[in-house]
Amino acid sequence: MFCIKCGGETEFVSIEGDELKRDRCKVCGYIHYHNPKIIAGILPIKNFDVLLCKRDIEPGFGKWTIPAGFLEIGETLEDGAKREAKEEANLEIKIIKLYGTYSIPRISQIYIIYLGEILNEDYFGNSETSEVKIFQVKDIPWSNVAFSSVKFLLEKYEYDLNNKKQFGFYSNS
C-alpha cells in the first residue's frame, strides 16, 4: 500500500497507544485508518404499506430490498438516504424518524435506516432496480428479500405495525 499523503510505502505496524496494527507511511509517518462503510437508506412507506425495489445488480440480483447505498463524502445521513431513494426508485421522501441500525463487522458495513413517507406517485426502477412495488406487510416476499439487514428491519416494521403502530428504534447489536 502507498500513502495517500505523500505516496511513500506503508508498513503494517503496532502504533503506541493503539490496540490494533495500522498501515503507517515509512516516509511521512501518516497513519492510515481503515474504517467501516456507512450505508444510508429508507424504509419507504405509504399508508403503512412498504415499497420494495427488485435488484437488477449483484449482490442480490432479482431479490427485493429497500433503497439504500453508500454514503458519499460531504453528505448527511438524511441526504444520503433521500438520494438513494431518488436514485433507486425515483422516490420523494419525508423522513419520519431514524428507524434502525444494522452492523455487519465481517464486511465492515454499518446500515443506518430511516422510516420515510413516500410523497410522490411516479416512482419507478432505474438501472439498479428492475421493479418497484408497494406491498402490504402480509404480502412481503420474505423468502426473496435480498439482505439480512433488510429482513431484520422489515420484521421490526411488521412487529410495530401489528402490535402498536408506534415505531421504535432497532439495532442488531
pLDDT tens per residue, range 3-37: 999 999 999 999 988 888 999 999 999 999 888 99
- Dihedral sign (CA 134, 138, 144, 146): positive
pTM for this structure? Answer: 0.87
172 is a domain residue:
no
Residue 93: name the closest of 147, 45, 156 by CA: 45
Same domain? 130 vs 151:
yes
Q: What are phi and psi of 39, to 5 degrees?
A: -110, 125
Distance (Å, whole) CA 47 – CA 25: 54
Residues 27 and 82 in one domain: no
Do 116 and 51 lie in one domain? The reply is yes
- One domain for residues 51 and 87: yes
- Rounded to whole angstroms, the Cα distance separating 25 from 12 reads 9
Residues 15 and 83 in one domain: no
Residue-averaged pLDDT of the chain: 95
Number of structural domains (the chain) is 2
Confidence of residue 164 (pLDDT cuts 50, 70, 90): confident
Question: Is the domain of 92 the same as that of 147?
Answer: yes
Same domain, 27 and 95: no
Q: Is residue 125 assigned to a domain?
A: yes
Q: Is residue 133 in a domain? A: yes
Domain that holds residue 25: 1-34
